[in-house]
Amino acid sequence: MDTMRWNIKNDETYNNQAVDEAAELIKQGATVAFPTETVYGLGADATNEAAVAKIFKAKGRPQDNPLIAHVATVDQLRRLVDNMPVYTEKLIKAFSPGPITYVLPSNGTCAQNVTAGLSTIGVRIPDHPVAQALLKKADVPVAAPSANLSGKPSPTMADHVWEDLNGKISGLLDGGPTGVGLESTVIDCTQDIPIILRPGGITKEQLEEVVRPVMMDPGLANTKEKPKSPGMKYKHYSPEVPLWLVEGTHESIQAMVDQEKFNGNRVGVLASQQTAKQINAEEIISLGENINEIAIHLYEGLRRFKQGDVDIIICEVFTEAGIGQAVMNRLRKAATEYIVK
Ligand code: TXA
Ligand code: MG
């Protein structure tokens, strides 16, 4: 199929005609990728089972991994769910629109394949002008996973979506780079206490300023425990070549780079700006000066090293503070090795 691409990144009014056309495609049951404040999503009408099936097909996504329903307003969110715990109201007031997804009892409005047969549904109100305009215009809940091929790093730029899905989807709204760079925080709101199923754009610290306590799904820390979010068990965020996650000083990282070079391997390095300055390697990408910048550039960095360019990627371990928890969650999943030096 031909993929329509609308370039609206330099248009302050977000090019109404492009959004109208994209919304029309969604209404007709087609798939359209669009920017959000976290990563690009691949959207389809969440009430249309055949449309939702196209998302799974284009991404090569396992059928048992549920999708997030995106809506423009809190009223629209309420229309998809049954009884919300009081703490959910507080969280919504504090963080939505924004990079957070609430898992709540579904009232059955969305198609079965959105929730992969679960009785709960993940709902999110994105905080991005293009996403908001598209959702308002389409006027249906829009199911949207990250707009990458299953297993690959999520797209933070329209070109990433194009690389993975050109010819497999009906449209792509190019709104420039996304904001946060990592996906939304997924929070289970079906229990007495909210439980983080996937760390993301809203940190545990931020959540706990509004509701206490907040738990982490034990599956996040313990690999033996089955994760409660079905998507968390799959291979994820993987670059084209093996990724070694290395905990150590810049001297020990340098020693490892030199050793692998001696072994005949071409090494690519992903590091903070501070570490990058002190390391000597053929290919080195600085992800940024602080953990927020590192989050923004992480997926782009993981995508930049292609097969044939390097044999191994070495990435340093970052802080777990703030969004660092989400950064390290993604890196642990992306890594083929975790090495302590
Ligand atoms: O930031 C985001 O959340 C992006 C943008 C596009 O909104 N979307 C995104 O979707 O990351 P996806 O499909 O790549 O990840 C959704 C995650 C998966 O781990 C999935 O298993 C989990 O949310 N999830 C969705 N519905 C769920 C449910 N009812 N119960 C538990 N986990 C759920
Ligand atoms: Mg994803």
> Which bound ligand lies closest to the C-alpha atom of 38?
1
Q: Can you tell me the mean pLDDT for 178-182?
A: 97
* Atom 7 (ligand 1) nearest CA: 41
> Which bound ligand lies closest to the C-alpha atom of 201?
1
Say yes or no: CB of residue 65 within 6 Å of ligand 1: yes
Say yes or no: CB of residue 145 within 6 Å of ligand 1: yes
Q: How far is the CA of 197 from the centre of ligand 1 (A)?
A: 10
Q: Can you tell me the mean pLDDT for 144-167?
A: 98
Say yes or no: CB of residue 153 within 6 Å of ligand 1: no
Query: pLDDT value at position 121?
Result: 98
Q: Are 122 and 101 in contact (CB under 8 A)?
A: yes
| 122 pLDDT more than 80 | yes
Q: How far is the CA of 189 from the centre of ligand 2 (A)?
A: 20
Query: pLDDT value at position 223?
Result: 56
Query: pLDDT value at position 234?
Result: 64
Distance of CA 13 to the CA centre of its chain: 26
Q: Which of 78, 202, 71, 66 is nearest to 145 (CA)?
A: 66
Whole-angstrom Cα distance, residue 314 to residue 284? 9
Q: Can you tell me the mean pLDDT for 239-264?
A: 95
Distance of CA 25 to the CA centre of its chain: 23
Q: Can you tell me the mean pLDDT for 182-190?
A: 98
Q: Is the pTM of this model over 0.85?
A: yes
| 296 pLDDT more than 70 | yes
Query: pLDDT value at position 341?
Result: 85
Residues having C-beta closer than 5 Å to ion ligand 2: 146
| 213 pLDDT more than 90 | yes
> How does pLDDT run across 257-279, given as a tens digit for each residue?
999 999 999 999 999 999 999 99
Q: Are 10 and 1 in contact (CB under 8 A)?
A: no
Say yes or no: CB of residue 35 within 6 Å of ligand 1: no
Contacts of 318 (CB under 8 A, 6+ apart): 272, 291, 294, 324, 327, 328, 331
Whole-angstrom Cα distance, residue 289 to residue 286? 8
| Listed range (15-24, 46-55, 136-145, 233-242) with the worst mean pLDDT | 233-242
| 317 pLDDT more than 90 | yes
- The closest-lying atom of ligand 1 relative to the alpha carbon of residue 120 is 29
Q: Are 112 and 95 in contact (CB under 8 A)?
A: no
> How does pLDDT run across 25-74, given as a tens digit for each residue?
999 999 999 999 999 999 999 999 999 999 999 999 999 999 999 999 99
| 10 pLDDT more than 90 | no
312-316, strands of its sheet edge to edge: 283-286, 267-271, 312-316, 243-247, 337-340
Average pLDDT of every residue of the chain: 94
Query: pLDDT value at position 221?
Result: 78
